[in-house]
Amino acid sequence: MTSGTPPRDGAIIAVDWGTTNRRAYRIAADGSIGDHLRDDRGVLAMAAADYPPALAALRERLGDLPVIAAGMIGSTRGWHEAPYVSAPADLPALAAAALRIEAAGLTIVPGVSLLTDTRADVMRGEELQVLGAIAAGLAPADAVFCQPGTHNKWIVTEAARIVDVATVMTGELFALLKGHGILAGMLDGVVTDGPAFRAGIARGAGATDLGTALFEVRASVLLGHRAPDEAAAYASGVLIGSDVGARAIDGRTVHLLAEGALADLYKVAIEARGGVTVAVDATAAFLGGVHHLRGYLGL
């Protein structure tokens, strides 16, 4: 395909092109989903020369269609950098700043940045899920979102615009502690909800001495206060408790844009701190975002 001109049936290909994984979907003009795929062809597995044949392979599978791609493909590690849109940002703002590569029939969705006198933050991919959840009626226009992952995201929207984002390296910190340093070898147990995890939440929430709280994982095991197989759950609770405890969520609804074990742990922590959780299907949110964005893009 040599242009971004949509075919008569108005279908497109939507790609969530992440760091390690890639998800691609055929979306019809009415928003219904056709064939789709998921693989490990994230940007870390790609060189610049790999993208044209990768797009050709997607079209061979899903149809000779225009492609809208979001996520890390637009980062400095991706194929072509799509500059961030400054918050507050909505779907029209994303469409206006989208990077069009006409020769490839590709549109790359920009990420969203936040820069104040005291904080700086960025995101790529999450913005389309959040705004898509609102556009698809999965969340209200004024909402708090939490997207657990290696780098957990807290996103606040007002009037269907992203106005704030905070990224927390919770998952990465746990992985680093597990693999390196004095806690290495002590965090191999299964992390599940239970007394140890909830004790960790209580310790981490509001802690101004996170480093001390984490060293207590080792000390409590050495002194027989905590069973060795509880250390991982307790340490995870400390980290997630610290993350959740830093948010003003008491009595508020938090929309969880995730599923699986980590989302379940965040649900426990959020509710332990007085929040109310609502699960949002992240895939449906992404697809809703692309479907509504295409209208602003004219595809």
- 31 plus 105 within the same structural domain: yes
Q: Is residue 154 part of a domain?
A: no
Q: Give the residue-averaged pLDDT of 15-38.
A: 93
Instruction: Give the full edge-to-edge strand order of the sheet including 12-17.
Output: 33-39, 22-27, 12-17, 67-71, 106-108, 99-101
230-279 residue pLDDT tens: 999 999 999 999 999 999 999 999 999 988 999 999 999 999 999 999 99
Q: Is residue 212 part of a domain?
A: yes
Q: pLDDT category, 85, cuts 50, 70, 90?
A: very high
Residue with tokens 């692309």: 290
Provide the 3-class DSSP secondary structure of residue 201: helix
46-58 residue pLDDT tens: 999 999 999 999 9
Spell out the residues 6+ positions from residue 2 whose beta carbon is closer than 8 angstroms to its own: 103, 105
- 70 plus 23 within the same structural domain: yes
Q: pLDDT category, 109, cuts 50, 70, 90?
A: very high
Q: Is residue 177 part of a domain?
A: yes
Q: Which domain holds residue 218?
A: 168-279
Q: Is residue 208 part of a domain?
A: yes
Q: What is the pTM of this model?
A: 0.91
Phi, psi of 11 (to 5 degrees): -75, 155
Beta-bridge mates of residue 186: none
Beta-bridge mates of residue 147: 153
Beta-bridge mates of residue 112: 85, 123
- 174 plus 70 within the same structural domain: no
Identify the CATH number of the domain in which residue 105 sits: 3.30.420.300
pLDDT at 3: 40
Domain count, the chain: 2
Identify the CATH number of the domain in which residue 250 sits: 3.30.420.310
- 250 plus 293 within the same structural domain: no
Provide the 3-class DSSP secondary structure of residue 34: strand
For residues 133 and 288, give the distance between their C-alpha atoms in angstroms, rounded to a whole number.
7
- 194 plus 275 within the same structural domain: yes
Q: Is residue 29 part of a domain?
A: yes
